[in-house]
Structure 1
Amino acid sequence: MDHQFTILIPLYNEEDNLLRVEQELSSYIKKAPLPSRVLFINDGSTDNSLKLLEEICKREKDFKFISFEENRGLSAAIKAGFDEVQTPLTGYIDADLQTHPEDFDLLLEHIPEYDLVTGVRTDRKDSFKKNMSSLIANGIRRSFTHDGMDDTGCPLKVIKTEYAKRIPMFNGLHRFLPAMVLLQKGRIKQVPVRHYPRIAGKAKYHLMNRLVGPLVDCFAYLWMKRKYIDYKIARRNE
């Protein structure tokens, strides 16, 4: 089978969620509109996650994983996934499954006309503090990037792989994917998706790294934007 769509699942210490992830993603790719595969990126987990991934990928022929030697953060995990992908389209979902794989279909409907389609979480099931910190962080980021996106932290995205592979690596990358596609003269769109409470495992973010991190990363983004090199080859002598 020639796969067309690779779903990235970065994870760090998510052993309590992985069997449910296997069930939901296995069910989804059987009926997905495109031939699909799953790629886990284990970000140096210190629990039983790696052992579970080895077992899952033996059972599921369309599931693969890579594993870091040590914890390097979400941006590094996403970038490593982008580097590994060989399919024309790349998706991203978190291992906590607070978004549903079936909603990839909502995003894939628009990907022929756009280069990145991201979810916007509706009726969020997070705490008031988490929702408010996310709202403030998105406002800060939007004032710097002018990308027009309401929820860049939504862990459900589809991007054309050619654009993903041209995104340079820096910490905080995951907050700026729409802005990075715009720098490449790409087209972006946001689509409402469902949101669910976390039912297992622990959240990896708290108030300080939801607010301070995005602010610091915005200055890194502005520096990178000034230095960014963008080109397209018009002709090649074979």
Structure 2
Amino acid sequence: MYDFTIIVPVYNEEENLERVEKELLAYIAIATKKTSILFVNDGSKDKSQELIEAICQRNEAFNFINFEANRGLSAAIKAGFDHVEAPLVGYIDSDLQTAPEDFNLLLQHIGEYDLVTGVRANRKDSFVKNISSTIANGIRRAFTSDGMDDTGCPLKVIKSDYAKRIPMFKGLHRFLPAMILLQEGKVLQVPVQHFPRVAGTAKFGVWNRLLGPLMDCFAYLWMKKKYINYTVKSKG
């Protein structure tokens, strides 16, 4: 029924979810593809699941997956990839520091490319957060040579067949463009809007922005060396 499904990972975001509903409904009305929403509740301990179920009951295009326990952002994204049925899948954080309407900017290019990611222009984060992200992106780019300036940007569109082949593990959400390149796909980055967080609390600090990506780079190098890639020429 849908051409495009947006994954929204949720972890203790009860203060944001009504705003998320409003913003995503507004986007669906102007979307260039017929769009559905898939919440992935990553074991929230607040009232997030109660709110998600209410949102889904009153909106036909909204669905959810609810984890038994918190498993992290990479697991939430992986679950979304596994369950999506639309040919295109998107991803946005539930803090809405990026704008859903900017999905239309990314969708303009998805025909030629297999992943299109946002680049947060004029970031509205703290100085420490911006510096730690800049350093982490520099480290990751040196290891992967993916040419991406901001893989942490929580606004992406991917062709679903590529997304479903990504062998995700904890922390690999930072390497989505590199994992598409391993499949000999094409990636592109496009400037998008960025806004300060207005409710809830950030789930990542300085240390897991720096040490986590550094350790994950070595996991990526191992995977790149061992990655199996093939193309079927014919069937009979």
TM category, shorter: over 0.9
- Report matched runs for 1:92-171 at 5 Å: 92-171=91-170
Q: How does 1:68-107 map to 2 (within 5 A)?
A: 68-107=67-106
Aligned to 1:46: 45
- 1:176 is paired with a residue of what secondary structure? helix
Question: What SS is found at the alignment partner of 2:104?
Answer: helix
For 1:235 and 1:52, the matched residues in 2 are separated by 49
| Matching residue's letter, 2:120 | R
Cα distance in 1, alignment partners of residues 222 and 107 from structure 2: 32
Letter in 2 for 1:213: G
1:211 is aligned to 2:227: no
Counterpart code for 1:99:
T
Deviation at 1:232, TM superposition (A): 2.1
Q: What pairs with 1:187-202 in structure 2 (closer than 5 Å)? A: 187-202=186-201
> Following TM superposition, by how much is the alpha carbon of 1:236 offset from its aligned partner in structure 2, in angstroms?
1.6
Give me the whole-angstrom Cα distance separating, in 1, the residues matched to 2:72 and 2:120.
Answer: 23
* Residue 34 of structure 2 corresponds to residue 35 of structure 1: yes
Give the match for residue 222 of structure 2. 223
Q: How far off its partner does 1:121 sit?
A: 0.2
Displacement of 1:47 after TM fit?
Answer: 0.4
Q: In structure 2, give the amino acid aligned to 1:31.
A: I
The residue identity in structure 2 corresponding to 1:227 is K
Shift of 1:58: 0.1
Q: 1: distance between equivalents of 2:185 and 2:113?
A: 7
Structure 1 gap ranges (5+): none
What CA distance in whole angstroms lies between the structure 2 residues aligned with 1:27 and 1:75? 27
Cα displacement string for residues 40-77 of structure 1 (whole angstroms, at most 9, x for unaligned residues): 00000000000000100001100000010000000000
Residues of 2 paired with 1:120 and 1:31: CA distance?
Answer: 22
CA distance in 2, matches of 1:65, 1:232: 34
Whole-angstrom distance in 1 between the partners of 2:204 and 2:161: 30
Runs (4+) off by over 6 Å: none
CA shift for structure 1 position 5: 0.1
How many Å apart are 1:230 and its aligned residue?
1.1
**TM-score (structure 1 length as normaliser):** 0.98
**Scaled by the length of structure 2, what TM-score is found?**
0.99
Structure 2 unaligned blocks of 5 or more: none
Question: 1:80, 1:234 → 2: CA distance?
Answer: 30
How many residues get paired?
236
* 1: CA distance, partners of 2:68 / 2:229: 32
Which residue is 2:178 aligned to? 179
User: What's the RMSD between the two structures over aligned residues?
Assistant: 0.6
Q: CA deviation at 1:31?
A: 1.8
Q: Report the identity percentage.
A: 68
CA distance in 1 between counterparts of 2:171 and 2:84 reads 20
Q: Deviations over 1:127-163 (max 9, x none)?
A: 0000000000000000000000000000000000010
